[in-house]
Structure 1
Amino acid sequence: MSVTETVPQDQDQDLPSFPFPDTFSPLPSGTLAEIARRAPAIRVRFGPGQIPIWLIVRHAPARAMLSDPRFSRTKTLEFRPPLTGAQIPDPNSLLWLDPPDHTRIRRLVSTGFAHRRIEQLRPWVAETARRHVTAMTAKDAPADLRAALAAALPVDVICQILGVPEIDRENVRTWSETLFRFATNREAAAAGQKALYGYMDSLVRERQAQLAAGEPVTKLFDVLITTQDTDDGRLNEVELRSLALTLLIGGFETTAGVITNAVTTLLTDRSQWESLVGNPALLPNAVEELLRYHPLSMTFPRVATEDVDLGEFTVRAGEVAIAPFAATNRDPDLYDDPDRLDLTREPVANLAFGHGAHHCIGAHLARVELTEVLSALIDIVPTLRLAVPVSELRYELAAPIGRPEKLPVAW
């Protein structure tokens, strides 16, 4: 029996409200797991207007939805959806564009994020990670690993990519953090966004002028400014500003959350941490497993532009669909014992960074950052441990990826 038959749409008034209380928790969501055991998708109410939508909880239909061009991101702006980061939508952002605009910008941007370019950045990322770990351990324990490392490194990396001077980085970090508090302080989030828009406008114009005057291309963002396609031309100033903000927001809070959760999980189960310390060769598999275990909470919503059959259910034209990766990455049809962290698990394609046209352009960069953070910790401070009982950790659940507010550690 299809989900459409199981939950007739004339019963939409009785649907549960989504997100659920545990949706953004980095711990396994009992609610999502229970739904996934019963069906590949259900109907829920979502957003400020509590409109009925499809919540897709299994890997196969979620992957199909994410790669199907009949699902639009741009159309979701019409109903003001709540976002995973609760930030204010920018209609010029790559995040919200559909083809052909998305295709044109993505083609130009992909040049700057080519695998080889990110690998060229890896030694600098590794050195920066080691510097933060060394600075943290040079002080008396306990330390807040989230502030000292998990949040500090992504800010350094994304500011390095964008060419943000060190003197401005603390301001950029503060403004960025306010965007992820939109649900609790809308005015501060709007002010932070306005400040970032103004700063990025000036940064883009200044760098364009410097490159036009003959300065060499030295930053990854320089590549994005100067890349020109025979058919597509170059990115304009509005597109560059929106892209810079997208990279900043996506490369800061989300990566910081992934790093925080990965270290928390490893230290919660000391046998996992000790296995990595004893055998660093496990690191590549461990990174993929940790990304499966701690993905972003969900993808952005999409609107079907025509009826789409996703196998066991049909999303009708005009209906909205969303896929929480915390569910799809623990699909029992794809993973044995999916709620168990297994650092030796052979990687299976998961949706940690989405799929299809909107697959996260910074996916490889995030992998590099997580790898180099864990490598630095294993090498410099193998005795790392939680400084408080797990029960005392307090979680931030309004961010795009739920994570501890602080991560007190000792060594």
Structure 2
Amino acid sequence: MAHNPLSEAVELPRARQPGCPFDPPAELTALPSLVRMNFPDGHRGWLATGHATVRAVFADPRFSVRYELGHNPLADTGPMPPAPPGDMLGVDPPLHTRYRKLLAGKFTVRRMAMLTERVEEVTTEHLDTMARDGGPVDLVESFAFPVPALTVCELLGVPATDRDTFRQSVAVANDPSVSMDEQISAYAAVVEYLRELVVAKRAAPTDDLLSDLTESDLDDDELAGVGALLLGAGLDTTANMLALGTFALLSHPAQLAELRARPELADQTIEELMRYLSIVHTTPRTARTDVELDGQTIKAGETVTLSIQAANRDPVKFDEPDTFDIRRSAVGHVGFGHGVHQCLGQQLARVEMRVALPALLTRFPTLRLAVPAQDLPLRHDMDIYGVHRLPVTW
């Protein structure tokens, strides 16, 4: 595809090449590092694709994450309301700093160790169920979704007696096959449950993150919002990394064989999957003042779409970026973002993937797709890329 002059605006390339479920659209990676972009709502902003350019915007405090200032790069959603209480993904410093400082202190080494043990237990329980019931199974429903869902329940201190109901509401809130009204209703039920849970934690604290946070100056609405944020940021993402990561490994048998032969490559494999798959494919930032970037002037009020998937396939940063190589050092990928808004729960996500993926591959050495790869339903039009279902057998 010929590069458009910077004076012209492009549409965000969305269509992936047939038979290439892991690669970004070819038109996207062919673009310069910064181009004008037409947004679905008519806004004329920018698209950043280069690794250095994306990192520069992530790190620049002159760009805002506030929902009400930005424009959605994926759909015409109309003006967005401000972030609800507790949602630090949609606020700038100093409020963001306040939230992040409180939360960062709760992701302690001790809590990560406790959660690692729990992830190991949950993983084993679901693999045992799969082995007992036999294949084929949908790996999303049987494994990739419940492992992070139960981990988040553990983190928040959701009582065991409530977890099935809670998980059902969360599943509906994340289910694109149901109506938007049903999703919104389920999400509202989740937030209301979390608000009630906060009240219960204030009265009788237990050893979990929400209980710890009741000792802070956050009010009940903020605490419920923090819980909803952790669900939204840590569940769908990790579930799709587990499912799409399994699909990627099954689609690269030589890499899978090497990982099985050299389990010490597990950590590198996780980082390479984060780079190669880039399931959080885009995120917007809006200039609060005029900013000079890559020789262009981004005017105050203009939104820049950051293409994570293009940045993570930038040949200036990564040699042979379209090759999946578990021996690669993928240090510097932006799969978890960069700067002050870099994913707070990235270590927990790594724990879940580091435990669950090797355990799955070890338990089922003959694991394989139960349907042709081209028949898998991909999440083409969703904020988080992945698979809707992953039928596997062994």
TM-score (norm 2): 0.90
Q: How has the CA–CA distance of structure 1 residues 106 and 269 changed in structure 2, closer, same or farther, with 3 Å as cutoff?
A: same
DSSP-derived class of the 1:302 partner? strand
Kindly report structure 1 stretches of 4+ aligned residues shifted beyond 6 Å.
86-89
Q: How has the CA–CA distance of structure 1 residues 91 and 154 changed in structure 2, closer, same or farther, with 3 Å as cutoff?
A: same
What's the counterpart of residue 265 of structure 1?
A: 248
Equivalent residues in 2 for 1:42-57, closer than 5 Å: 42-47=35-40, 49-57=41-49
CA distance in 2, matches of 1:255, 1:26: 18
What's the counterpart of residue 383 of structure 1?
A: 366
1:374 deviates by 1.5
1:140 deviates by 2.2
Equivalent residues in 2 for 1:206-217, closer than 5 Å: 206-211=200-205, 217=206
Q: How big is the alpha-carbon RMSD for the aligned residues of Structure 1 and Structure 2?
A: 2.5
What's the counterpart of residue 68 of structure 2?
A: 77
What's the counterpart of residue 41 of structure 1?
A: 34
1:382 deviates by 1.7
Q: Does 1:310 align with 2:293?
A: yes
AA aligned to 1:218 is D
Residue 221 of structure 1, aligned match among 197, 210, 218: 210
Unaligned runs of 5+ in 2: none
What's the counterpart of residue 91 of structure 1?
A: 84
Q: Does 1:371 align with 2:363?
A: no
What's the counterpart of residue 231 of structure 1?
A: none
Q: How has the CA–CA distance of structure 1 residues 223 and 175 changed in structure 2, closer, same or farther, with 3 Å as cutoff?
A: same
AA aligned to 2:130 is M
1:91 deviates by 3.1
1:346 deviates by 1.8
DSSP-derived class of the 1:175 partner? helix
1:305 deviates by 0.8
Deviations 1:349-379 (A, max 9, x none): 1101111111111101111101101221233
Q: Does 1:20 align with 2:14?
A: yes
Residue 100 of structure 2, aligned match among 81, 97, 106: 106
CA distance in 1, matches of 2:164, 2:74: 25
Identical amino acids, percent of aligned pairs: 33
Residue 340 of structure 1, aligned match among 317, 323, 331: 323
CA distance in 1, matches of 2:254, 2:214: 47
Q: Does 1:197 align with 2:191?
A: yes
Deviations 1:63-99 (A, max 9, x none): 110111111112x424563679x99974321110111
Q: Bigger CA drift: 186-195 or 278-287? A: 186-195
Q: Does 1:134 align with 2:128?
A: yes
What's the counterpart of residue 158 of structure 2?
A: 164
1:172 deviates by 2.7
Q: How has the CA–CA distance of structure 1 residues 97 and 406 changed in structure 2, closer, same or farther, with 3 Å as cutoff?
A: same
CA distance in 2, matches of 1:223, 1:396: 36
What's the counterpart of residue 385 of structure 2?
A: 402
DSSP-derived class of the 2:204 partner? helix
CA distance in 2, matches of 1:360, 1:370: 15
What's the counterpart of residue 289 of structure 1?
A: 272
CA distance in 2, matches of 1:120, 1:267: 31
What's the counterpart of residue 223 of structure 2?
A: 240
DSSP-derived class of the 2:323 partner? coil
Residues 17, 50 of structure 1: 8 Å contact kept: no
Q: How has the CA–CA distance of structure 1 residues 387 and 256 changed in structure 2, closer, same or farther, with 3 Å as cutoff?
A: same
What's the counterpart of residue 65 of structure 1?
A: 57
CA distance in 2, matches of 1:291, 1:113: 21
DSSP-derived class of the 2:213 partner? helix
CA distance in 2, matches of 1:44, 1:198: 39
What's the counterpart of residue 6 of structure 1?
A: 5
Q: How has the CA–CA distance of structure 1 residues 82 and 347 changed in structure 2, closer, same or farther, with 3 Å as cutoff?
A: closer
Residues 385, 409 of structure 1: 8 Å contact kept: yes
Unaligned runs of 5+ in 1: 212-216, 229-233
1:111 deviates by 0.8
Q: Bigger CA drift: 329-338 or 264-273? A: 264-273
1:385 deviates by 1.4
Residues 58, 328 of structure 1: 8 Å contact kept: yes
What's the counterpart of residue 312 of structure 2?
A: 329
Q: Does 1:118 align with 2:109?
A: no
Q: How has the CA–CA distance of structure 1 residues 370 and 204 changed in structure 2, closer, same or farther, with 3 Å as cutoff?
A: same
1:175 deviates by 2.9
CA distance in 1, matches of 2:388, 2:372: 15
Residues 377, 387 of structure 2: 8 Å contact kept: yes
